């Protein structure tokens, strides 16, 4: 496999964070311990654990967690013998206080996430994470929704604040492989830090996009075992590992153990099959934030509106993560317009 860097590829497993959306944030401590233990034994590099919307996300707006996320982070840290526990933080949802608490419990990596045009709001959190001696990465969400030069500009800001890597984050699963290549290449040519890629599978391209990112020089990539992530899930970790091994890349994670984890542990936990259904497909098509799906389905039921119409309209309005309250507003407006016809 020809790559544009000699640095090793590190994988962050996100099923216990991104997958929280699918589980309606109802992970139990025992589930987190069981999955974390298996991931650690398989050799996973990083395991992300927090509310689906990051630290501090357990609210009525984003969904209440069954178990306090700090308790889940602590449980995951206790189960890890070699993997590093990671957390996600969205400024405006999570604060430096939650970050400090997560660090005290043993979290070693934080990804500070902002909309692709709003990197400036991450400065305080990135700098504070460095003061806490954590690994810290910038996470530019909805990366499909800004021109490449804007992405580069915002990534440079995160680099200047102290981020050790910046991720191209395909929150909507809307990017095509050539678009991923263009973005990763531009960052590689413009930054002096590592580059990451986080994909969603709404157009069935998450693994292909991740491989394209690696070939262009990304060294930090994400996967979700059994596709347990928002929308249609992320790059399916056990599938991604299989593809990488076929391409001659060994990242040091036991493929058989990951396949067994997917089949025997995570599979029975799923509330339904993680496949590309009409809602997740429309999110990729319309370029809408992947965690909006369940909210749109609830709003559609409440207002007797097809959730696809809600998602398409959200895409037209370029609604971003953190604007979940807009989903109900849009549904109400569509219902009103429908009644007036």
Q: Where is the binding site for substrate, in residues?
A: 17-18, 171, 198, 289
- Angstrom distance (rounded) from CA 110 to CA 95: 12
The backbone region for 222, taken as left when phi is positive above 0, alpha when psi lies in -120 to 50, beta otherwise, is beta
Are 141 and 320 a contacting pair, CB within 8 Å? yes
- Bridge partner list, 314: none
Residues 6+ apart with CB under 8 A from 264: none
Assess contact for 200 and 206: CB atoms under 8 A. Answer: yes
Report the C-alpha gap between 205 and 235 in whole angstroms.
8
Of the candidates 21, 25, 115, 144, the residue annotated as catalytic is 21
Angle in degrees, 0-180, between the axes of helices 96-105 and 123-131, rounded to the nearest 10: 30
Task: Check if 21 is active-site.
Answer: yes
Strands (E), the chain: 10-13, 46-48, 84-89, 109-115, 135-141, 165-169, 194-198, 220-223
Distance in angstroms (rounded) separating the CA atoms of residues 218 and 237 = 16
Tell me the CA distances in angstroms from 297 to 58, 125, 303, one per residue in order: 20, 33, 10
Whole-angstrom Cα distance, residue 62 to residue 7?
37
Q: Residues annotated in the binding site for Mn(2+), as ranges?
A: 18, 198, 200
Residues at the binding site are: 17-18, 171, 198, 200, 289
Query: What distance in Å separates the CA atoms of residue 311 and residue 41, rounded to the nearest whole number?
Result: 39
The catalytic residue positions are: 21
């Amino acid at each position: 496999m020809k790559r544009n860097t000699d640095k090793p590829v590190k994988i962050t497993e996100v099923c216990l964070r991104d997958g929280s959306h699918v589980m309606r944030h109802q992970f139990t401590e025992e589930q987190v311990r069981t999955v974390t233990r298996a991931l650690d034994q398989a050799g996973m590099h990083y395991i992300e654990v927090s509310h689906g919307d990051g630290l501090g996300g357990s609210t009525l707006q984003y969904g209440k967690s069954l178990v306090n996320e700090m308790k889940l982070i602590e449980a995951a840290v206790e189960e890890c013998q070699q993997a590093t526990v990671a957390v996600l933080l969205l400024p405006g949802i999570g604060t430096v206080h939650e970050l400090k608490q997560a660090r005290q419990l043993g979290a070693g990596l934080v990804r500070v996430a902002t909309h692709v045009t709003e990197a400036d709001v991450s400065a305080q959190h990135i700098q504070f994470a460095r003061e806490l001696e954590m690994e810290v990465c910038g996470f530019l969400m909805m990366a499909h929704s800004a021109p490449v030069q804007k992405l580069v500009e915002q990534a440079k800001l995160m680099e200047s604040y102290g981020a050790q890597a910046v991720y191209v984050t395909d929150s909507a699963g809307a990017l095509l492989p050539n678009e991923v290549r263009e973005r990763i290449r531009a960052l590689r040519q413009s930054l002096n830090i590592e580059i990451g890629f986080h994909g969603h599978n709404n157009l069935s391209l998450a693994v292909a996009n991740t491989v394209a990112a690696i070939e262009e020089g990304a060294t930090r990539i994400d996967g979700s075992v059994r596709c347990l992530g928002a929308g249609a899930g992320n790059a399916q970790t056990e599938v991604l590992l299989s593809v990488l091994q076929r391409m001659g890349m060994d990242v040091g994670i036991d493929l058989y153990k990951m396949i067994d984890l997917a089949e025997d542990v995570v599979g029975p936990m799923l509330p339904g099959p993680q496949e590309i259904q009409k809602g997740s497909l429309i999110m990729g098509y319309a370029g809408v934030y992947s965690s909006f799906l369940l909210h749109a389905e609830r709003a559609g039921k409440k207002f007797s509106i097809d959730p696809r119409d809600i998602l398409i309209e959200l895409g037209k309005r370029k609604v971003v993560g953190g604007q979940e309250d807009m989903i109900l507003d849009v549904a109400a407006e569509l219902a009103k317009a429908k009644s007036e016809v």
